[in-house]
Chains A and B, each alone.
Chain A
């Protein structure tokens, strides 16, 4: 028998598939579901990683955050001091540092009283810091700036403006904080962090209404463009260690925060993808089953082919092609279906987080398609071998 071309194998395999259209269809569907699940999971999880990376590098590339306490977290007994703040500001390469203090205060609007959390800050560099290192957006009005230094003004979170009190609070209106009137200068956009329910006020006013001063829960600093952020973070660490006598604080750069967030997403994502891939194993079993049936039904045919000189490898190639076609068809349809599902999930997440996008790369399409073909071939191996090993005489007699 002369050398058969690939097209011949595919033709014979296709004939095999057409022989039992319903069975082939159901087998493909099983693969479609598995591939769709894996495709959707990968694009949604990868999208989450990319969105977070984008958000963090976009706004925090030049940001260093210093927190009191060790990696164990802050139980409220630890603070940074004015000395720490001055030390950080004096390091070359640091443009400015914003030290944040906080207290819960009573807030009154139109006779309604609520307790809210306020953050006291030096307003000198705040308007710049808000955009670059705090990463907030303005909904209406303005942020705090240097002119607000001695004033009783307040810059409020989105939920505080719209949800906390019965009536909406707009720029220009007045909130009484611990009895003192504060004029609202602006409202932030929603951030999905505790600040949504809180507000920033200038530090002098903070001292006046809370009686607290110099107990900072965090210090955020902006690093000059082009300077080496990691080495500056190292310098801050050394300086503060000298002042405080021990490393009872943490210095975080965006890179470190990113690594930490990514580790959590990667772990949860890997778990989900592995669990999703179980359905592909089940789909593979379906292919194996179909291929066994296909080999059994075509025993006579195989016998005849062998009798006229077909080699073992040729018989195997026919059945492996059939299995690969099932896998590949399932892969193509599965990717299309998975894309639709991922788009649906994207739409849902965007209602919570506007900037979210799923990640769809050519590499994902190609690698999953290749993977689906491999699943088909691997599942087809045993049945194909069974077909190839048939004794031609016995096979024809069937």
Chain B
């Protein structure tokens, strides 16, 4: 019985091929836009969480200032020092902690001098803390190892854009007139901070400071296995507040950081996707139009069916199936088109934005969800026309010319 209704719906769809085709296309466009935008923004979320995951779920980041916002606005609080690292190290549950120092220094290659931010890391802890980050994101060379001193890992722009010659591992650069051997070059990162960075072991960094006090822009702490990270972050906060006399710092876990970034990213992508969804509404109006036409053209047919005993619900179902099919076909084609388009955009982001490790991500649920959404848009848009068809008076319908 239901196959018959399906058959009749399909016949209706194929009766006017151009019209059905155009109606389906309009749903294709809307679904494709939504799926593509979702995949691209999910890709950004995924790359950011991949970066943060490298730091590990057991890592706690401590930065000076009341919030990350103040850091971005250029307002700076009293910096962190070795005293603070000691305080953190003494908190039970902390396996290890190290500070990252940063200061603008003069980099010279040949005769060209450029001021850049130099980061100082504890070389021994580097592999454990950031090892995965740099190995994955390394264009050439290696990361720090024990015993390294006058060596540097440089960002991609420092290697290829800033100076007149390409700087490859093995070459020398001068930092504040001190010679350093380059051991590694990072992949393009899509942000100036990383592309323009110069990282050196902390011992060398201290020497370059001369008499200046060594301060850290961040302290990273690793939790001992089996420690609850949120409780540990709270404990660190309490101890550090006692030691510093004020809560002029932020303690964040990678998860907190991820949530902060994702909430900004999420807001932007939600707005963009909402705007894209408008085209689905327009597509729905198109389905409604097509269905009204379809009902009108088949008025006599409906009259005949009713005359031979077809129930209202049967008539309604035929048209609802027809409308649902338009939506479903559109959504499936939209999904397929999106899969192709997402690849194209992914490539563009990698090459033109220079974020080499970006990959778009289509959550499987989104493809299925889009198909269901397409079907429902069809059914909802077809509801009024189907109801009109079901309510036709058989006698009048038969008389319709």
State which of B72, B104, B275, B290 has its C-beta within 8 Å of the C-beta of A41.
B275
Given A217-B74, A217-B76, CB of A75 within 8 Å of CB of B268: no
A72 & B193 in contact (Cβ 8 Å cutoff) = yes
Chain B: interface residue total (CB-CB under 8 A): 63
Instruction: Check: B293 CB closer than 8 A to any chain A CB.
Output: yes
A26 & B288 in contact (Cβ 8 Å cutoff) = yes
B116 & A289 in contact (Cβ 8 Å cutoff) = no
Hey, which bits of chain A sit against chain B, CB under 8 A?
Answer: 20, 22-23, 26-27, 29-30, 33-34, 37, 41, 67-78, 102-106, 115, 117, 193-194, 197, 210, 212, 217-218, 245-248, 268, 271-272, 275-276, 278-279, 281-283, 285-286, 288-290, 292-293
Q: Output the nearest chain B residue to A197 by Cβ-Cβ distance.
A: B66
Shortest distance in angstroms between A371's beta carbon and chain B's nearest beta carbon?
16
User: Which residues of chain A come closer than 8 Å to B102, judged between CB atoms?
Assistant: 75-77
A217 & B75 in contact (Cβ 8 Å cutoff) = yes
A30 & B115 in contact (Cβ 8 Å cutoff) = no
Additional pairs, 18, CB under 8 Å, beyond known A74-B76, A115-B247, A282-B30: A20-B293, A26-B286, A27-B289, A33-B281, A71-B192, A76-B71, A76-B77, A77-B217, A78-B103, A117-B77, A194-B66, A194-B73, A212-B78, A272-B272, A275-B33, A275-B37, A276-B278, A293-B293
User: Which residues of chain B come closer than 8 Å to A29, judged between CB atoms?
Assistant: 285
Q: 8 Å CB contacts to A: which residues of B214-258?
A: 215, 217, 245-248
State which of A72, A104, A292 has its C-beta within 8 Å of the C-beta of B22.
A292
- Residue with the highest number of chain A CB atoms closer than 10 Å, among B18, B33, B74, B77: B74
Q: Output the nearest chain A residue to B191 by Cβ-Cβ distance.
A: A72
What are the 5 A-B residue pairs with the smallest beta carbon separation, nearest first? Answer: A104-B248, A75-B102, A115-B246, A77-B103, A279-B279
User: Which residues of chain B come closer than 8 Å to A74, judged between CB atoms?
Assistant: 74, 76
Given A76-B64, A247-B115, A289-B290, CB of A194 within 8 Å of CB of B69: yes
State which of A68, A272, A282 has its C-beta within 8 Å of the C-beta of B282.
A282
Q: Output the nearest chain A residue to B288 by Cβ-Cβ distance.
A: A26
For the complex, what is the distance from the CA of A30 to the CA of B22, rounded to whole Å? Answer: 14
Shortest distance in angstroms between A363's beta carbon and chain B's nearest beta carbon?
22
Shortest distance in angstroms between A130's beta carbon and chain B's nearest beta carbon?
17
State which of B77, B79, B282, B289 has its C-beta within 8 Å of the C-beta of A34.
B282
User: Which residues of chain B come closer than 8 Å to A22, judged between CB atoms?
Assistant: 292
User: Which residues of chain A come closer than 8 Å to B23, judged between CB atoms?
Assistant: 285, 289
State which of B117, B248, B285 has its C-beta within 8 Å of the C-beta of A72.
B117
For the complex, what is the distance from the CA of A71 to the CA of B72, rounded to whole Å? Answer: 12
- Residue with the highest number of chain B CB atoms closer than 10 Å, among A29, A70, A75, A105: A75
Shortest distance in angstroms between A82's beta carbon and chain B's nearest beta carbon?
16
User: Which residues of chain B come closer than 8 Å to A218, judged between CB atoms?
Assistant: 74
14 A-B pairs in the complex with CB atoms less than 8 angstroms apart: A27-B289, A71-B196, A73-B72, A76-B217, A103-B77, A105-B246, A115-B248, A117-B75, A210-B78, A272-B271, A281-B279, A282-B30, A282-B283, A293-B19
B248 & A73 in contact (Cβ 8 Å cutoff) = no
Q: Output the nearest chain A residue to B101 by Cβ-Cβ distance.
A: A77
B275 & A194 in contact (Cβ 8 Å cutoff) = no
B106 & A248 in contact (Cβ 8 Å cutoff) = yes
Q: Output the nearest chain B residue to A29 by Cβ-Cβ distance.
A: B285
User: Which residues of chain A come closer than 8 Å to B77, judged between CB atoms?
Assistant: 76, 102-104, 117
User: Which residues of chain B come closer than 8 Å to A33, judged between CB atoms?
Assistant: 278, 281-282, 285
Instruction: Check: B54 CB closer than 8 A to any chain A CB.
Output: no
User: Which residues of chain B come closer than 8 Å to A102, judged between CB atoms?
Assistant: 75-77
For the complex, what is the distance from the CA of A9 to the CA of B275, rounded to whole Å? Answer: 37
Shortest distance in angstroms between B334's beta carbon and chain A's nearest beta carbon?
12
B103 & A104 in contact (Cβ 8 Å cutoff) = no
**A-contact 0/1 string along B273-302, CB 8 Å cutoff:** 001101101110110111011000000000
